[in-house]
Structure 1
Amino acid sequence: MDTGSAAPLLHAHGGLQAGRDPAAAHDHVGQCSPEASGGATFLRTCFNGLNALSGAGLLSIPYALAEGGWLSLVLLLVVAMVCCYTGQLLQTCMGASADVRGYPDIGALAFGVKGRFAVSAFMYAELYLVPIGFLIMEGDNLDKLFPGTSLSLGAGLLFSGKHLFIVLASIMILPTTWLRNLGVLAYVSASGVLASVVLVFCVLWAAVVDGVGFQGKGTMLNVSGLPTALGLYTFCYCGHAIFPTLCNSMKKKDKFSNVLVVCFVACTLNYGSMAILGYLMYGDDVESQVTLNLPEGKLSSKLAIYTALINPFSKYALMVTPVATAIEEKLLTGNKRFVSMLIRTFIVISTVIIALTVPFFGHLMALVGSLLSVVASMLLPCICYLKIFGTARCSRPEVAVIVMIIILGSLVAACGTYSSLQKIIHEF
């Protein structure tokens, strides 16, 4: 791209001067800026991208298919292609200035301070709510492994079932959030790619070997469930917050578009396989997490659940660290280490409270996907791209595609958010 013509825009907004903008500095830290030494190879960046896109969405994808029906698989492909395209738009926006290091910088490049605030708000809200889903998932699956477990603390305080396991999981996770250097956790979380493949294999094993079979016929199309399905599909591809960081980490940044294609194709095959398997096995009776349907006592079921439980322990801290770092940049005084631990402990406690209050994994993830992931993964990349480069520098077909994405994304966000909130309220 022509960086020379973009430079005046930078100075006009004044949002990306590294030495002058404290917001830019903490956004860089918050997103764990890439190591300056050498840069990552194509293969390693692909691995990191796959790890970013492979997560809790894999467990809920059969439920999403059940909500929308078999024909909604087409929408999964559409969402994948749209999110891959908007990821490439972010890469193009980064090419407009060498000062762009993270997603908030793109917002600042397009709209100045207000743009940085808007992008940061949606990004941090998404990073905060996803760990809540992790805790709910831990509680649900541990309750399936150890049914009937309870703990009495006296004075009428009794924790039982998944509420107990949510609290216990948070206690085990808490020390990992105190680590300032998450390099070790980053390597541990890389196991998420392998875990995603293992999960699909375990579900297939349960169907073929453990006798579950493929009895679920399902429905062709469920119009009323499409908003929820779209929200969950979008949640599966909500890696845009870290795409700029991954791009900057590469030795050859111009190859990042190829990385995106590889990651989205591989993840779509994995998500599609899990969706089809789970829906064929359990039909419309599939739970919000397919592991909750698996037969008790079987080795494949235990392996699937244990594999699903490992990921949150390594990824929880990585997700909340950008949020904690942003708060610390504003509040840290005196004993920085002690205050940092207090801030991170408070964040964990707050996520536990919400997880105990809204223990509906499928509905919460649909809400995150509809409200936050659609905005961060579809709308903001398109809007920022048009603002930075202008319609005059884009071809008519490109503008038409981007405008269509904005319109459809807005509809999905509105309908999906309303539907998810309605279902959460109905559950109370």
Structure 2
Amino acid sequence: MAVGVSSDSGARSPLKIVANIFISFIGAGVLGLPYAFKESGILEGITILTTVAVISVKAMIMIIDCKEEILRHKSLCNINVRPKVKVSEICLPSGDRVELKLPLLNYSDDNDELEITSKESSDPLMTYGDVGYYALGDRGRGLIDAVVLISQIGFCCAYLIFIMENLSQFFPSLSHYQWLLIILPPLFFLTLLRHLSKLAVFSIFAQITNLFAFSVVFWFDFEHFNAIKFHPKEFSLKGFPFFFAVSIYCYEGAGMILSLEHSLAVAVRHKFNNYFVSTIIGVTLLYICFGASGYLSFGPETSDIITFNLPKSNGLNFANMVTFCLCVSLFLTYPIMIFPAIQLLEARYLPSNDVIKGNALRFFIVSLTGMIVIAVPNFGNLMALVGATCCTLLAFILPGILHLYIFDK
């Protein structure tokens, strides 16, 4: 097995750095923003979205500060290579040592190559769970892993709802649940791919179709501006909780912020915070424009998924093509989003790397997402549920708690 170490092989180009951050925060949640604006009102929605953006950015930077504080006061030593796990000893101020088990996403079962693992490696990848372990011990890691697991499954369920609802509109002869039974088996086979590198092409295609679809929805919004005459809501206390939860869902990036920061070359990593803040400002402006224009275009008729408002016809038209592209995009994104959940469960319960048990675990998780969709079949409500629970913990509560514990030490 060849071991390759490159301490400065990450992204250097500002365009690539900004693109990586931008793509990480643009997903299916954007499609529910017009409906959220309908529930809350224009001014209230803009205020909530901006506030959540500021707090989320601060919280994610706090996670990075926690990681830097750990590495600043403790020295990494004796990094040993094990299958699927990199064990790093961290020296505490008291002289004690604790082990951090960092998952190797790029481990090769073919024994060909293992990157960023060496006893001399000076550029270790530390995960959110590792920060939790240092601050709170096994309880911290267990809590963070559990919340990440639930949130990733929740995201995948939202994708399933979007796909089956849109496909049932294309082909009304089949119900939502019949479409669910049709799409779950191929999704299971996609989850059998055990390396992220094999899913990279799906991610690229998904992001291209996402950006294309969002652009077309914008175009339809502006074309439809004068079609509905109504006085838009400005404030609605009744819609505050819903919009707040959806906003948190849209900005939830705490689970991947350390990976994003680590993706930069060491030489430019000190500039990450500036790149990150600038990009999130752009993302926030996009969210506001997309959500507000969708609501202003369709008014009280705004659907919980904005693509339902696009004009339909019996033949093949542009709107149907966009909706179909989004379905394909989310279908291909599903195995990428479910990957961390599977990896967490495999690392904890299947250390022997048993292929049959691993396949059974994948079948169970995919089936579980289907059962959740049957129980909570509304896209907007599911987004709000995941946002109000898991995303709130990951993005708001845990960063503050970890920061207090780590800097107190």
Regarding TM over 0.5, the answer is yes
Report which stretch shifted further, 199-208 or 350-359.
Answer: 199-208
Corresponding residue number in structure 1 for 2:308:
292
Q: Is the 8 A contact 2:225 2:296 kept in 1?
A: no
Matches within 5 A, 1:160-171: 161-171=175-185
Compute the displacement of 1:247 (Å). 1.2
User: 2:91: which partner in 1?
Assistant: none
2:22 to 39, 45, 50: 50
Summarize the Cα distance change of 1:137–1:259 in structure 2 as closer, same or farther, 3 Å threshold.
Answer: same
Structure 1: tracts of 5 or more residues without a match = 1-33, 151-160, 394-428
Indicate if the aligned counterparts of 1:206 and 1:212 stay in contact, CA closer than 8 A: no
Equivalent residues of 2:249, 2:384 under 8 A apart: yes
Q: Which amino acid in 1 is paired with 2:64? A: Q
AA of the residue aligned to 2:25: L
Say if 1:217 and 1:280, in contact at 8 Å, map to a contact too. Answer: no
| The one of 175, 188, 192 aligned to 1:178 | 192
Q: Is the 8 A contact 1:132 1:352 kept in 2?
A: yes
Report percent identity of matched pairs.
Answer: 27
Matched, 1:230 2:244: yes
Specify which of 296, 320, 323 is matched with residue 341 of structure 2.
323
CA distance in 1, matches of 2:352, 2:247: 45
Q: Which one of the candidate residues 269, 277, 297 is aligned to 1:253?
A: 269
Q: 1:146 to 1:370 in 2, by over 3 A?
A: same
2:10 alignment counterpart? 39
Cα 1:89/1:309, change in 2 over 3 Å? same
- Do the aligned partners of 1:174 and 1:348 also contact (CA within 8 Å) in 2? yes
| Paired residues for 1:183-262 under 5 Å | 183-209=197-223, 213=227, 215-251=229-265, 252-262=268-278
Give the letter aligned to residue 220 of structure 1.
E
CA 1:262–1:175: 2 relative to 1, 3 Å: farther
Could you list the per-position Cα deviations for residues 13-50 of structure 1 after superposition, in whole angstroms to 9, with x for gaps in the alignment? xxxxxxxxxxxxxxxxxxxxx98671233433332222
Q: Distance in 2 between matches of 1:322 and 1:307?
A: 25
CA deviations over 1:343-402 (Å, ceiling 9, x no partner): 111110111111122111100110111111111111111221122113xx9xxxxxxxxx
The aligned residue for residue 97 of structure 2 is none
AA aligned opposite 2:231: K
State the shift of 1:285 in Å.
2.2
| Deviation, structure 1 residue 77 | 0.9
Q: Does 1:94 align with 2:64?
A: no
Greater relative CO, 1 or 2 (CA 8 Å, sep 6+): 2
* Cα offset, 1:215, TM superposition: 3.7
With 223-232 and 63-72 compared, the bigger mean Cα shift is at 63-72
Deviations 1:276-330 (A, max 9, x none): 1210111132111011121112733213312321322222112211111122223
Please report how far the alpha carbon of residue 136 of structure 1 lies from its aligned counterpart in structure 2 after TM superposition: 0.6
Structure with more of its chain in strand, by fraction: 2
Mapping for residues 9-158 of structure 1, pairs under 5 Å: 38-41=9-12, 42-72=14-44, 73-98=46-71, 101-147=126-172, 149-150=173-174
Q: Is the 8 A contact 2:159 2:334 kept in 1?
A: yes
* 2: CA distance, partners of 1:206 / 1:196: 15
For residues 93-140 of structure 1, the C-alpha deviation after alignment (integer angstroms, 9 at most, x for no partner) is: 111134661001111122222211222221111111110111011111
Q: Please give the secondary structure, in 2, of the residue aligned with 1:97.
A: helix
The range that moved more, 231-240 or 260-269, is 260-269
Question: Is structure 2 residue 385 aligned with structure 1 residue 367?
Answer: yes
Normalising by structure 1, we get a TM-score of 0.75
- Larger relative helix fraction: 1
Q: What stretches of structure 2 of length at least 5 have no aligned partner?
A: 77-124
Q: Distance in 1 between matches of 2:186 and 2:226?
A: 34
Are the structure 2 counterparts of residues 215 and 189 from structure 1 closer, same or farther at C-alpha, using a change threshold of 3 Å? Answer: farther
Q: How many residues align?
A: 347
Could you say which residue in structure 2 is the equivalent of 1:336? 354
SS of corresponding position for 1:295: coil
2:248 is aligned with 1:276: no
Contact 1:178-1:341 within 8 A present in 2 as well: yes
